[in-house]
Structures are given as structure tokens and as C-alpha cells.
Amino acid sequence: MTKSESKRSGASAISAAAAAAEQVNNGSLDAGFPEQSPAGKAKVMKQTSRESLQRRNTECEVYDDGTNTFFWRAHTLTVLFILTCALVYVTLLEETPQDTAYNTKRGIVASILVFLCFGVTQAKDGPFTRPHPAYWRFWLCVSVAYELFLIFILFQTVHDGRQFMKYIDPKLGVPLPERDYGGNCLIYDPGNTTDPFHNVWDKMDGFVPAHFLGWYIKTLMIRDWWMCMIISVMFEFLEYSLEHQLPNFSECWWDHWIMDVLLCNSLGIYCGMKTLAWLSMKPYQWQGLWNIPTYKGKIKRIAFQFTPYSWVKFEWKPASNLRRWLAVLGIIFMFLLAELNTFYLKFVLWMPPEHYLVLLRLVFFVNVGGVAMREIYDFMDDPTFHKKLGQQAWLVSTITVTEFLIVLKYDPHTLTLPIPFSVMQCWFLGILLILIWTLWRFFIRDITLRYKETRRRKQEAPVDWDRQLGNGSTAAAASGRSKLNGSSETLRQRKS
Amino acid sequence: MTKSESKRSGASAISAAAAAAEQVNNGSLDAGFPEQSPAGKAKVMKQTSRESLQRRNTECEVYDDGTNTFFWRAHTLTVLFILTCALVYVTLLEETPQDTAYNTKRGIVASILVFLCFGVTQAKDGPFTRPHPAYWRFWLCVSVAYELFLIFILFQTVHDGRQFMKYIDPKLGVPLPERDYGGNCLIYDPGNTTDPFHNVWDKMDGFVPAHFLGWYIKTLMIRDWWMCMIISVMFEFLEYSLEHQLPNFSECWWDHWIMDVLLCNSLGIYCGMKTLAWLSMKPYQWQGLWNIPTYKGKIKRIAFQFTPYSWVKFEWKPASNLRRWLAVLGIIFMFLLAELNTFYLKFVLWMPPEHYLVLLRLVFFVNVGGVAMREIYDFMDDPTFHKKLGQQAWLVSTITVTEFLIVLKYDPHTLTLPIPFSVMQCWFLGILLILIWTLWRFFIRDITLRYKETRRRKQEAPVDWDRQLGNGSTAAAASGRSKLNGSSETLRQRKS
């Protein structure tokens, strides 16, 4: 409820700022800053409005009639009461078994459940409110619990850590069987007369829809075609580079590029982009369910409860400045690291790929990844440096790092297997190219632009000096920065 | 930073509402609601202003220049970086010992530390901001950790739970020695010729300053003279009633009433009330440290960092309506329960009274109790029902209940010792009196008032009817509720 209110007040603030911006544009800007109004104040107003206008382009407008039904209220007292009753029942009316191991396990599970009770009703809300803020608070608490579990595992010896998994599922803690991933890579196998394409059909397993669905969701998280494609291609490169460590990374060339990148991933990204386009165009009008007259409208409203409350288009703009560029590189790095962790973690903790914990971890990442990505975007997009990095983004970063550290601690041998020389060369070249581009884009290009600007100014100077003698010498200095700083000052210069 | 901003916006909203209220009072109220402005809107304005004016009486005005130095910023990225470095160091550069028990302990401690890192930077802020919001976030996280620990203890068998304390301190888990609390209660003991007052001096131990300090802090929490005195006296009654269960509750009559209630507690409450008066009168002006010119001013500013950001006088008003009455009874009940838990918990968990954990628990309650009390007051004072019960209040309630359940589970024998008949009679009488008063105050008194009002109206009616024939019959109905509802409607009635 507080969430929706803050959203609405935010929206009204934006529209007020936008109105102010129009006023500035129609009024005093062309005429220069009049002396009677303090220039500093006007400048602040101008800047605010520019930011809010920019923000308005990426953020959709929301209409909300502010209805908050029973469903929406914070049930803090209800949860407290039910929790108390449950504790009274379990501890006083049930007989405590004499089995210490069982009680310990039960105590830990109960602690986690109480933590979830607290968190789901009381934790800080994130950026998402649909279908219910409690849903996202739940996943936040799960993140905390998962991170604490990872920290615990990290502090055990390798043997103890693997055996600890037995407490979760007694079938775990057993070494994985060696698998043969080498195979025939012929698309058309003339040796097999009954079905020469049998190699292709063999690869058509559950991973095809998994790849598609995965990339559909990742596109909804990242909300940018280019970044998705780069991550998708980069991951195949990583698979090539690391197939000497994990045998299940070794695939046929056509499996890498045609089936994974071209078919599954691209189709997923394409469908994701279509959904994004729909989400950014659809109207965001929230009416209370009882205020909707028709039956069809009510059904539609219930269905729309599972769509976002409002929509923000992500414009990562990595090339706009050095900070954003480094941030985008960092995001891509962490994303790829999290994807690699999926494979390495099950390898070092002896988890069979089809185990339900592996699937649960993916479901977890799907739910927290979207929130984290939005929080990172908000953090980057915020012009002030005071803002906090969002809680879910903070946790997802810590979880990714902790998972990587577990892999590093549990199997340093696999991770330090010598990398083939050709792979090293490729990576070295890639990193070099990125470095050169960074240097050129954010350091050399600026110097070149500045030099060109100075030369142009020198050529124009004799003419300008004649005209502007009355205005004094400060005008020329202002004009020197005009190209770099933007439009308004140039306009003023030209008009004068 | 966000906190201070919200505070300031809150203050400006209050002053705006107050200004609106003055407008209403000077303008349209006496003249009735003019037809050209919609009456609904005006009513809403009136109500808001009345609430905010009431709120203004209990809340002080705050001036803040909005300076936020480095000290105030959210160091989310810094903490993330330091945490990552620490994890890398501990897990990769340190050798993991082969001792499973030691590693388990270390893993749990590390999990708690990581949880604190997360919570201190990211948890939801409470009502307090001084000396630093992170301080109160820290205690929130400690509450969560303590509650989870209690839940774990609650799910163990009695033997395992007591032995579990050995993991925290190897000296624990040993039965407490029987102590003889019976003694000579003569104030003047003629048998002892060298020092006939030796019984009095014997009682002058560390508990005297402890009682004084405890009640000083409790007064700052509760901020109400009457409630403090009631709880102080009630606790002595509880000691009398429960001395058959816990022998250390048995004290001499003059120790109960003169030394505890009259001297230590009353003096503590008196000093607390003086401090409260000072806090509610002192100006709340917050300037950035670098904006203060003098050296003395800077020192004063640093010292004032440890005083509250703003001040809210608590006006519990238990008799104003049934909801507040029940809430105040509930608060007193929970307060006394938490105090009893201090004694019972160390009894059932075999903790010596001088153990540092007992002291730590009290330090913990001092820190979280103040926040919880403020949150409960805000929750009660809020006219809408949408508001959440504050997170710390929620946790303190859960902790108190869980502690009580542990006591109940670990030693049902002591708690069900038959209560002496005289004690039963006293409690029965007390509860009966409270019930009767409740019935009279919130049910019978209302009916009596309503009856008197009806009779008065009937007597006045013939005169009124003659005058008000033009206004129609609705005026009489409105006058019927005038005494109960308050002032403005009566005013209108009289004027017309």
C-alpha cells in the first residue's frame, strides 16, 4: 500500500517537473536568464526537468485509483498471532522426540520458517509490487537463507561439505559417475542407413526448451537485445574455453552455434523482445476489483495482477560514459559467472544434473535476478551518488561470489588445469580489444574532440571577436565548452 | 539520508496541514459549508488538519539543514567489497582445520556475521536515526538472530537444550547450586550488637544501582509516569505471588516496598521524567558539522548526535477508547512477562545470574525495547488501520512469547506448582476490578451519557422546534450526536 502511494506521488512529481520543464522551454530559456530571478534556482529547475523528462521516456505512466483491499493490507498482527499459535501447539502439545539429530534438523527448519514469517511481513519492499509485494519479500528472505547456507558450506572441509548435503537429501554426497561426452559430430552420418540424422535428433532433448525458456526470461531481465546477444555468444565461447575442465561443456560445433545460439537462444530473445515491446506499450491502469463493472473486466484485472505494476525500459547506454561502460562490463561478467556457477557448483558438490535442488536454484535465480537487474539499473541511472545499491542486487552479487569461492575451494585442481594455448590467445586478444576501445572511447576521443573544437574556434575567432566586443571575453570561454556540454548554451550563444 | 528527508517532508506536510486548518477555522467553518465548494473535500481537509494538529502537540518541530556527510552515506558497495575480500582471504588463503565441530561453529558464526553485514547496510530503517540508522539496523538484525536461536532451543529436548549452551560457553550446562534466600527480616536486629542494621546493609548490593538504572531506562522507553509506577508496583506483586516457584523472588517486606519501589524505582522514574521533560523542551536543530563556525558548537553538535533526532511525547490515553485500553493492558502484560522471563529463563537454562549472557540479554532489551515501544505507540496512534506494526515491535513480541514458551517447555513442573490460595484470591479480585471498570467505562457509561443526552434534548426540544422549523428535521438528528462527537457541530448548531 505504501508502495503504490509512493509510486503515485513519484508520478505526480514527475508530471509536475515536466510541466515546469515546459514552462522553462516556452518562457525564459530563449530570452536568457532574466536578472530578477536568481539564475542558480533556474538552473536547478532546468536540470531537474531534463532528468525527469529523460526518466519519463523510459518509465511508463501509471494510473491507480488507490483501492487497497483486504488482500493488500499488511497482516502483521495476523501473522504474529498464527505464528504464536503454531509455536504453542508444536512445543507444548507435541511430544519432543529423543532423537538429537532429528531435533537439530527440525530446529533449523523451524528457525528458517520463523525467519520467513518475519521477512515476508516485515522486510523492506523492493522495486516490484505485482502480483504482491509479499511475493518479492519472500524471495528476498530466501536469498538471505541461501547465502547463509552457502557461507556455512564454504567454511567446511571439502569432505564435510559434500557429506553435509546428505542432511538435505540422503541420496547426495556420493561421487558422480564419469560420463562420456565425446561423440560423433557428423550431421549426416552415412554409416547409419536407417536414420542418417540420428546425431541431430540425439541432441533434441530437454535442453532445447530449457535454452529457449531460459533466454526468454533472461531477456525480460536484461531488457536489451544487444546485451542478451553478447551474453549468449560469450557463453558459447566460455564453453569452448572450459571444455578441458568440465567435459559436459564439449559439444559439436553445430550444437554450439546453430542449435544453441541461432535457434534456441535467438528465438527466446526474439520472443522476449516482443513481450517487452507489449509491456512497454500496454496501459498501466489499476482499478480496484470491485470498481470494475463487467465480469470480463474483473477476469482481465485478475490476470493483469500478474503483469508488472509499471514499466521501465532499460537503456543501458554503455558508451555514454566510463562509469556506465564499466558497470555494463561488470554486469555481463557477473551474469556469465552466475551461469558458470550452475555447472561448476553441481560438479564440486556432487549434485546429479537432474536433482531437484539444481532446478530450485534456477527457479530462485529467475525470481531474484529480475529484481536485482532492476535495482542495478536504478542505481546506475540515479544521478546522485547517495543512493544505496538495492538489497536484492547486493545479495545476488554476494551469492554469486560465494558460489564461485565454494567452487574454487572445493576443487582447485579442476579450476587450475592448464588452459590450452589457443584459448589463451583468443582471450588475450579479446581483452586487449576491449581495453583499446575503452581507451579510445573515453580518453583519446575526448582529447581529439577537444582539439578539433579548439581549432574550429581559432578559425572562427577573428569574426566572433569583432561582433562580441560588447559582451566581453567570457562569452568565448563559454562557447569553448558548448559542443561537449550540450544544446542550451550553444543556442544562447548563437542567438546573441 | 532518506530518513531525514522523509522526516523533513513529514514536518512540512504537518505545517501545510496546520496552515490549512487555520484557514478552515478562520474562514468557512463558522459560516457553514458554502455550496460552491464540495462539502466532502472540505470535510476531509478538516479531519486531516485536526489529526495533524493533535500530532503536532506530541511531536516536536525539527530544523535540519540536510547536510549529509560521508559518515551518513549508505556504504553498500564498500561493505560488499570488504566482505568479498574477507571471504576470499578466509576461504582461500587460510588452511581449513580438519575439526568438524570447530568448522561447524565457525561456519555458523560466519553466517551470522554475513547476515549482520547485510542487515546493517540493507535492512529497513526504524523510527530512530541517532546516533546512526545503522546502529538501529544492527540491533534489528541481532533481534532476528536471537529469535532464531530461541526457536532452535525451543525445538530441542530439555537435556539437549541445556547441553547446547556448552557450545557457547563450556562452563554452562551445569545444574545451578541451591541457594538459601530465606533470611532475617528485622530492620533493627538487637541480637547483633556491633551493627544492628546489618540486614539493611546486606541488601545494599549491586542490585540497588541496577534497579535505579533499569527504571531510568524503562521510563525513557515508556515515557509515562503512571504506566511506569503501575508496572513497578505490579512487578513487586508478581514477586510476592511467584516466590513459591522461584526462591530468589522472596524478599523482606521493606526490601520490596521501601528499597525497591520507593527508593530505587521511584528515583529512577523521577530522573527519567526529568530527562523526558528536557528532551521534549530542547530545540531540535541539526546543522552539518562543517557548517558550525565555533569549536564549542562542533563539540556540542557531536554530543547531540547521541540525543534523538526529534521527540514524540507519548500520550497513551488508555481511557479514551476500548482499543487503546486493551492495547495498554497488553503492553503492561508483555512488559511484565519480559521481566519475568529474565529470571525464569536463567533458571531453566541453568545460567548463573552473574553470567555475561544474562547481562547481554538486558543490554539487548534496552536497545530494542525503546524502538519497539515507539513503534507500538505509532501503531496505536495511527488513525488508519492499514499501517503495519513496526518490525522491532513484532520481533520483541515474538521473542517474549518464545522465551516464555521455552520456560514453559523446559520446566513445566515449577510453573505449575500450586499457587497459594490467598494469592489466587488477590489476583481474582484484581482481574475482576479491571473487568468491572472496563465494562463501566466503555459500555455502561456510554449508555448513561446517551440517556442523559436524550432526556436533555427532550426538555429543550419544544423551544428548538419552534426556532428551527425552516432548517428541517435533520438538524435535530445532528444535535443528538453533538455531545459525543465533539465541538464543531455543536458550534454550528448553536450559531444557527
Chain B interface includes A41 (CB < 8 A): no
Question: Residue B53 pLDDT more than 70?
Answer: no
Q: What is the mean pLDDT of chain B?
A: 78
Interface of A with B in 290-309 (CB under 8 A): none
User: Do the domain assignments include residue B10?
Assistant: no
Q: What is the pLDDT of residue B489?
A: 39
> pLDDT at position B462, please?
62
User: What are A85-138's pLDDT values in tens digits?
Assistant: 999 998 888 888 889 999 999 999 999 999 999 999 999 988 888 888 899 999
From A208-222, B44-58, B118-132, B212-226, the region with the lowest mean pLDDT: B44-58
Contact A110 B77 (CB under 8 A): no
Query: What pLDDT digit, counting tens, does each position of A337-395 carry?
Result: 999 999 999 999 999 988 999 999 999 999 999 999 999 998 888 766 667 889 999 99
Confidence of residue B67 (pLDDT cuts 50, 70, 90): low
Question: Do residues A139 and A93 share a domain?
Answer: no
User: Any chain A CB within 8 A of the CB of B166?
Assistant: no
A236 with A360, same domain?
yes
Which of A211-225, B124-138, B324-338, B475-489 is least confident?
A: B475-489
Number of domains chain A contains: 3
Same structural domain for residues B263 and B191?
Answer: yes
Closest Cβ–Cβ partner in B107, B154, B394 for A155 = B107
Query: A104 touching B, CB under 8 A?
Result: yes
Record: contact A405-B92, CB cut-off 8 A: yes
Assess A121–B contact: CB distance below 8 Å, yes or no: yes
Q: How many CB atoms lie within 10 A of CB B338?
A: 19
Out of A100, A118, A136, a domain closes at: A118
Which pLDDT value is given to residue A9? 41
**Mean of pLDDT values over B307-323:** 85
**Among partner residues B106, B107, B152, which is closest to A111 by beta-carbon distance?**
B152
Selecting from B107, B151, B391 the residue whose C-beta is nearest the C-beta of A156 gives B107
- Asked if residue A302 belongs to a domain, the reply is no
Secondary structure letter of residue A260 according to DSSP: I
Sorting pLDDT into bands at 50, 70 and 90, what band is B44?
very low
Pull the grid cell for residue B424: 489466587
Which positions 403-422 of A are in contact with B (Cβ < 8 Å)? 405, 408-409
B110 and A152: CB-CB below 8 Å?
yes
Q: Tell me, yes or no, whether A376 and A423 share the same domain.
A: no
Contact A104 B74 (CB under 8 A): no
**Taking a contact as any Cβ pair under 8 Å apart, which residues of chain B between 74 and 93 contact chain A?**
74, 76-77, 80, 83-84, 87-88, 90-92
ipTM over 0.95: no
Q: Do B118 and A144 touch (CB under 8 A)?
A: yes
Whether residue A380 sits in one domain with residue A251: yes
A151 closest CB neighbour out of B111, B152, B405: B111
**Chain A, nearest residue to B75 by Cα:** A388
Task: Flag whether residue A101 sits within 8 Å of chain B, measured between CB atoms.
Answer: no
pLDDT band at A483 (very low <50, low <70, confident <90, very high): very low
Convert the pLDDT of each residue in B364-388 to its tens digit: 999 999 999 999 998 888 766 667 8
Task: Please tell me the predicted confidence (pLDDT) of residue A250.
Answer: 80
Task: Say if residue B25's pLDDT is above 60.
Answer: no
- Residues from chain B contacting residue A118 (CB–CB below 8 Å): 144, 147, 391, 394-395, 398
Separation between Cα atoms, residue B52 and residue B46, nearest integer Å: 10
B132/A contact by beta carbon, under 8 A: no
Q: Assess whether B318 and B391 both reside in one domain.
A: yes
Q: Tell me the count of A-B CB pairs closer than 8 A.
A: 166
Rounded Cα distance, B9 and B17, in Å: 12
**Nearest-CA distance A465 → chain B (Å):** 44
Based on the fold, state whether residues A397 and A444 are members of the same structural domain: no
| pLDDT tens-digit series, residues B140-153 | 999 999 999 999 99
Q: What is the 3-state secondary structure (H, E, C) of chain B?
A: CHHHHHHHHHHHHHHHHHHHHHHHHHCCCCCCCCCCCCHHHHHHHHHHHHHHHHHHHHECCEEECCCCCHHHCCCHHHHHHHHHHHHHHHHHHCCCCCCHHHHHHHHHHHHHHHHHHHHHHHCCCCCCCCCCHHHHHHHHHHHHHHHHHHHHHHCCCHHHHHHHHHHHCCCCCCCCCCCCCCCCCCCCCCCCCCCCCHHHHHHCCCHHHHHHHHHHHHHHHHCCHHHHHHHHHHHHHHHHHHCCCCHHHCCCHHHHHHHHHHHHHHHHHHHHHHHHHHHHHCCEEECCHHHCCCHHHHHHHHHHCCCCCCCECCCCCCCCCHHHHHHHHHHHHHHHHHHHHHHHHHHHCCCCCCCHHHHHHHHHHHHHHHHHHHHHHHHHHCCCCCCCCCHHHHHHHHHHHHHHHHHHHHCHHHHCCCCCHHHHHHHHHHHHHHHHHHHHHHHHHHHHHHHHHHHHHHHHHHHHHHHHHHHCCHHHHHHHCHHHHCHHHHHHHHHC
Would the CB atoms of B398 and A114 count as touching at under 8 Å?
Answer: yes
Q: What percentage of chain B carries pLDDT values higher than 90?
A: 38
Residue A289 CA, distance from chain mean position? 32
Distance from C-alpha of A304 to C-alpha of A129, rounded to nearest angstrom? 12
Higher pLDDT, A211 or B477: A211
**pLDDT for res B71:** 63
Q: Which residues of B touch A408 (CB under 8 A)?
A: 91-92
Using CB atoms, which residue from B103, B111, B148 is nearest to A114?
B148
Mean pLDDT of A153-169: 92
What does the pLDDT read at residue A386?
Answer: 60
- Residue A104: its chain B contacts at CB < 8 A? 156
On average, the pLDDT of chain A sits at: 79
Show Cβ contacts of residue A225 under 8 Å, excluding neighbours closer than 6 positions: A219, A269, A273
> Considering only CB atoms, which chain A residues are within 8 Å of B100?
156-157, 160
Q: B91 — phi, psi (to 5°)?
A: -85, -30
CB-CB neighbors (< 8 A) of B76 in chain A = 388-389, 394
pLDDT in tens, B210-265: 889 999 999 999 999 999 999 999 999 998 889 888 887 887 878 788 888 888 89
Domain final residue, candidates B61, B95, B118: B118
Q: What is the pLDDT of residue A2?
A: 38
Cell of A250: 564439449
pLDDT at A429 over 90: yes
In a domain, B128, yes or no: yes
B387 with A74: Cβ contact below 8 A: yes
For A11-51, the pLDDT digits (tens) are 444 443 333 333 333 333 333 333 333 333 333 334 444 44
Search chain B and give the residue with CA nearest A104.
B156
Q: Are residues B327 and B277 in the same domain?
A: yes
pLDDT higher than 50, residue B29 = no
Considering only CB atoms, which chain B residues are within 8 Å of A123?
A: 123-124
Contact: B121, A388; criterion CB under 8 Å: yes
What is the least distance, in Å, from the CA of A319 to any CA of chain B? 23
> A163 at the B interface (CB within 8 A)?
no
Per-residue pLDDT, A496 = 35
Burial of A398 (0-12, 13-18, 19+ CB in 10 A): buried
Query: What's the gap in Å between the CA of B147 and the closest CA on chain A?
Result: 8
In a domain, B273, yes or no: yes
| 8 Å CB contact of A92 and B394 | no
Residue A11 lies in a domain: no
pLDDT at A69 over 80: no
Cα B109 from chain centre: 30
B88 and A152 within 8 Å at the Cβ level: the answer is no
Nearest residue in A to B69, CA atom: A386
What range does the domain containing B76 cover? Answer: 70-118
Together in a domain, B213 and B250: yes
Q: Would B393 be classed as within a structural domain?
A: yes
Q: Do both B448 and B399 map to the same domain?
A: no
B111 lies in the same domain as B224: no
Q: How far apart are the CA of A79 and the nearest CA of chain B, in angstroms?
A: 10
Max CA-CA distance within chain A? 99
Question: pLDDT band for position B3 (50/70/90)?
Answer: very low
Domain-located, residue A291: no
Residue A35 in any domain: the answer is no
User: What's residue B61's pLDDT?
Assistant: 74
A96 and B148: CB-CB below 8 Å? no
Identify whether the C-beta of residue B466 lies closer than 8 Å to the C-beta of residue B443. Answer: no
Taking a contact as any Cβ pair under 8 Å apart, which residues of chain B between 168 and 207 contact chain A? none
Q: Are residues B216 and B102 in the same domain?
A: no
Report how far apart, in Å, the C-alpha atoms of A233 and of each of A187, A239, B414 are. Answer: 22, 10, 70
CA distance A337 to chain B (A): 15
Q: Could you give the 3-state DSSP secondary structure of residue A426?
A: helix
Q: What distance in Å separates the CA atoms of residue B355 and residue B341, rounded to the nearest whole number? A: 16
For A199, the grid coordinates are 546425431
